[in-house]
Amino acid sequence: MKVLVLGGAGYIGSHTVYELADSGAEVVIVDNLETGHLEAVHPAAKFYKGDIRDRGFVDSVFEQEKVDAVIHFAANSLVGESMTNPLKYYDNNLCGTKVLLESMVAHGVDKIVFSSTAATYGEPERVPIMETDKTEPTNTYGETKLAMEKMFKWTGKAHNLRFVSLRYFNACGAHKSGIIGEAHSPETHLIPLILQVPNGKRDAIQVFGDDYDTKDGTCIRDYIHVTDLAQAHILAVKYLMEGNESSIFNLGNGVGFTVNEVIEAARKATGLPIKAVVSPKRAGDPARLIASSDKARTVLGWKPEHTDLEEIIASAWKWHSTHPDGFEKK
Ligand code: UDP
């Protein structure tokens, strides 16, 4: 099996490539390296540097590589930036996907697994969130991901293309080898920011709000290990290869942890003190986001292996403690 991974030098993309390579698949990576890292590219994968908005480039990849399926991670994903620069998100996420789909249709590539997000739901009506729940994104990032899902749906109907959209909850952790991990610039996610404290990169972690209607007043999220997410992509490719119909799946552990619980688990995982200070709420943060992943478990046969938060954070710490500057060499 030969799989084209768009955005395969990014955080979730690179971890998926590592799992794909372990499963025996042949992997081709496309990444423009705007946010991805060359060092995260798997040594056994064939790498093309280029942008999916460039039709000539995308066509040339499909002409050179006869792929069975595409996994699409190539998008911008910072919620805050998506609110201050929405058109960047429409351009890269939507225009990029449009060009990609045109080229896939032209080259007869008819299977795609797509990196979506819990941000497609917006403020949930209930938890755990089901795939059938209403989708009303509260930020441009979620809106563009939802629009990308719709683009797959309608293009699929017209051109006989099938897709699986995977809506991730809070991706975290790092590869067991400690060779690759999370490296965003700027970093906005809770666990890497917490680990900057024991790494001596920041004095304290800010807790964004402590008067939410939750057990300790801090926000609840569903943290899912990146390797478990990666495995779900492999199962989704298999699902499409077996001829199954297009579908959307949530990916989470189905268990919620508060920000304070995550900080406490990080203290245990690192064995180091981590100072926390309560700060103002971040705009648009729902109090609680927890996935129902029953559909992925039943239909795809997905079973997350990393369910212990302390163990998940320990895997992140293995990476961050040895790469305090991410992939940058200092
Ligand atoms: N959060 C926090 N301090 C930070 C970063 C995040 O308290 O410095 C909180 C944030 O309000 C949310 C949770 O941690 O409740 C997870 O945030 P993250 O940005 O990692 O993921 P999101 O849930 O926004 O996708």
Please state the atom number of ligand 1 nearest to the C-alpha of residue 208: 7
Over the stretch 146-197, which tens digit does the pLDDT of each residue have?
Answer: 999 999 999 999 999 999 999 999 999 999 999 999 998 889 999 999 999 9
Which CATH number does 2-172+223-251 carry?
3.40.50.720
For ligand 1, atom 12: residue with the closest CA: 219
Identify the pLDDT of residue 319.
Answer: 97
Q: What DSSP line would sit under 72-113, residue for residue?
A: E--S---HHHHHH-HHHHIIIIIIHHHHHHHHHHHTT--EEE
φ, ψ dihedrals at 162, nearest 5°: -115, 145
pTM > 0.95: yes or no: yes
**16 CA → ligand 1 middle, Å:** 23
Going by CA atoms, what residue is nearest to atom 4 of ligand 1? 190
Cis peptide before 128 (omega within 30 of 0): yes
Ligand 1 mean position, distance from CA 150 (Å):
27
Q: Does the CB atom of residue 66 touch ligand 1 within 6 A? A: no
* Total Cβ atoms within 10 A of residue 261: 17
Which sequence positions are flagged as catalytic? 141
Asked whether the predicted pLDDT for residue 330 surpasses 90, the reply is no
**Ligand 1 centre from 57 Cα, in Å?**
36
Residue 193 alpha carbon, nearest atom of ligand 1: 8
Which tens digits make up the pLDDT trace of 126-152? 999 999 999 999 999 999 999 999 999
Instruction: Please report which confidence band the pLDDT of residue 281 belongs to, taking 50, 70 and 90 as the band edges.
Output: very high
CB 219 near ligand 1, within 6 Å: yes
Over 90: is that where the pLDDT of 231 sits? yes
Structure token digits, residue 196: 């900057």
Domain boundary assignment for the chain: 2-172+223-251, 190-222+254-291+301-322
- The structure tokens listed for 201 are 């990169």
Residue 284 pLDDT > 90, yes or no?
Answer: no
Cβ of residue 93 lying under 6 Å from some atom of ligand 1: no
pLDDT-derived band at 225, boundaries 50, 70, 90: very high
Residue 74 Cα, ligand 1 centroid: separation in angstroms? 22
Q: What is the pLDDT of residue 285?
A: 87
- Is 191 within 8 Å of 267 (Cβ atoms)? no
**How far are the Cα atoms of 22, 198, 298, 315 from residue 227, in angstroms, in the given order?**
12, 24, 19, 10
When the pLDDT of each residue in the chain is averaged and rounded to a whole number, the result is: 97
State residue 328's pLDDT score.
82
74: confidence class by pLDDT, cuts 50, 70, 90:
very high
What is the CA(279)–ligand 1 centre distance, in A? 12
Query: Is the C-beta atom of 221 inside 6 A of ligand 1?
Result: yes
Which residue intervals of the chain are DSSP H helices?
A: 11-22, 55-64, 79-84, 86-89, 96-106, 140-159, 190-195, 226-241, 259-270, 294-295, 309-322
Predicted confidence band of residue 329 (pLDDT cuts 50, 70, 90) = low
Give residue 313's pLDDT band: very low, low, confident or very high (50, 70, 90). very high
Q: How far is CA 312 from the centre of its chain?
A: 16
Looking at domain 190-222+254-291+301-322, its CATH superfamily turns out to be UDP-galactose 4-epimerase, domain 1 (3.90.25.10)
Tell whether ligand 1 has an atom less than 6 A from the beta carbon of residue 285: yes
Give the full edge-to-edge strand order of the sheet including 162-168: 46-49, 26-31, 2-6, 69-72, 111-117, 162-168, 247-251
On whether the CB atoms of residues 4 and 28 are closer than 8 A, the answer is: yes
Q: Residue 305: what pLDDT? A: 98
Best residue among 259, 262, 264 to mutate for probing ligand 1's pocket (most ligand atoms within 8 Å of CB) is: 259
User: Which residue's alpha carbon is nearest to atom 13 within ligand 1?
Assistant: 190
Residue having the nearest C-alpha atom to atom 5 of ligand 1: 190
